[in-house]
Structure 1
Amino acid sequence: MSTRAVRASAAIAAAAALVVAGASTAFAHAEVTASDDRALAENVTLSFSSEAESESSGIKELRVVLPAGITPDAVVLKEAPEGWKYATTADGYTVGGTALKAGEDAKHSVVIRQLPDAKSLAFKTVETYEDGKVSRWIEVPSGGQKVENPAPVLDLKPAAPGAKPLAPSPSPTPTAAPSTAAATPSPEPSVATSAPSSAKQKDEGGSTGVVIGIIAVVVIGAGAAVWFKRRSTNSG
């Protein structure tokens, strides 16, 4: 085989290796399926599967961002790896616990109270591995474009005839408020509480003025008496 042929074969082998590596990366992704994929469907089970990318470390947590139209309080965990815990976040939920075995896919399912009236739903997912590695499947393809880290997308069929959006869940009514209000009366306004003291000061001021006036009259009278007595003595 000539040198040129050897070089050509090596180039082809390298290219094939890159293709295989790229394909293996593309195959590792997160997916979602639904028990009922119609818009406005109620009590739908969504099943998620996050394929393991690492051969040396297992997945220990998944964080899912819910799409518009689904709130965290409308989601309930149905199934997850043994020992994993579920917790809501401001924009979705997390589920995780003891790391899975290296190479084992992370699968869990939740029940959605009602799917929104939409054509598709994207569930951005972040995978955290035991060794700290993080895989973000958060890109949403648009216009037929391909992305490197696509988020799990659920395509929805049209809603069933007569399907309507459910009313939001009522907020729980606090029970402690009435008893607290009854036990602790509202404080009076500061202006009202200061009024009696001001009036008291005014009364005290008035009384003090009267006393001073009386003393002044007595002093003046005594002085006048002394003056008249001295004048009478001088005249005599």
Structure 2
Amino acid sequence: MRITSARRIAAVSAAAATAVVAFAVPAFAHVTVQPGTAQQGDYTAVAFRVPDESDTASTVKLEVNLPMDHPMASVRILPLPGWTATLEKSKLDKPLQSHGQDITEAVSKITWTADDSAKIAPGQFQEFKVSLGALPTDTDKLTFKALQTYDNGDIVRWIDEAKDGQPEPAHPAPVLTLTKAAAAAGDHHGGASAAPSAAADASHDDSTDKQAAAKSSDSTARTLGVAGIVVGVIGAGLGVAGLRRKNTGSAS
């Protein structure tokens, strides 16, 4: 009975461990944007991290679609050995303003294609780096729908958008979260005027401390001077008294 119970416990534990791994691996294998956050209005560099999920096939192509509802004037790729990158542009309904110029078209899609030496093999991943900007200031996220192509012809579409209150989709699109720009110094509750005031107070306190220290030093010097005079007078008095005693003794 004990052996049977032990076997059952071991079997249940193994099944639980397998289930944990089964659920954990797909979550780890998503195509993602690294880092996952950037500041609104900034120019930033990100990497699309692509893991190979197949046990037998290698990844040979990655297509990333940029959100045209929030286009960016500047899109540049970092060359990757063994991969050829092409950028496609689309006309904008409303021109972008960039450095005083009207931008009438923006990059809408980037495609990386591998040669035979650069495929992403099973168990490996690759990062595709891009510089983006200026990031929009009227949204808190950018969604990049991506397609991953394997050398056996399979295509995984990372295009599903996550929704609040619902489980994560099987193939979520990479998302870059945008945070608000930090407030400039002095823009909050009169901070700019507070700084000079604090500096003035500190200067005043320092001046007061120096004056107090000077007065204390002067008082100490005067006290020591008076004490020296008193000691001198006493010493002189004692000297005169001693001399008188000596003279009196000699006379007698």
Q: What is the TM-score when the length of structure 2 is the normalising length?
A: 0.54
Q: Is the 8 A contact 2:30 2:51 kept in 1?
A: yes
Q: Is the 8 A contact 1:39 1:116 kept in 2?
A: yes
Residue 221 of structure 1 aligns with which residue?
none
Quote the offset at 1:133 in angstroms: 2.2
Residue 153 of structure 1 aligns with which residue?
175
* Matches for 1:85-234 after TM superposition, within 5 Å: 85-88=85-88, 91-98=108-115, 99-117=119-137, 118-147=139-168, 148-159=170-181
- Superposed CA RMSD in Å reads 2.8
Q: Deviations over 1:154-199 (max 9, x none)?
A: 111213669xxxxxxxxxxxxxxxxxxxxxxxxxxxxxxxxxxxxx
- Which sections of structure 2, spanning at least 5 residues, go unmatched? 91-107, 185-252
Work out the CA distance in 1 between the residues paired with 2:15 and 2:46: 41
Work out the CA distance in 1 between the residues paired with 2:134 and 2:165: 28
Counterpart secondary structure, 1:14: helix
Residue 38 of structure 2 aligns with which residue?
37
Work out the CA distance in 2 between the residues paired with 1:35 and 1:136: 20
- 1:89/1:102 CA distance change after superposition, 3 Å: farther
Give the greater-gyration-radius structure (CA).
Answer: 1
Residue 208 of structure 1 aligns with which residue?
none
Counterpart secondary structure, 2:112: strand
Counterpart secondary structure, 1:84: strand
Work out the CA distance in 2 between the residues paired with 1:100 and 1:81: 12
| 1:63 maps onto 2:63 in alignment | yes
Q: Give 1:23's aligned amino acid.
A: A
Quote the offset at 1:139 in angstroms: 1.9
- 1:10/1:84 CA distance change after superposition, 3 Å: same
Q: Give 1:56's aligned amino acid.
A: T
Residue 27 of structure 1 aligns with which residue?
28
Q: Mean alpha-carbon deviation: is it higher for 9-18 or for 145-154?
A: 9-18
Q: Give 2:177's aligned amino acid.
A: D
Work out the CA distance in 2 between the residues paired with 1:20 and 1:101: 21
Q: Is the 8 A contact 2:42 2:135 kept in 1?
A: yes
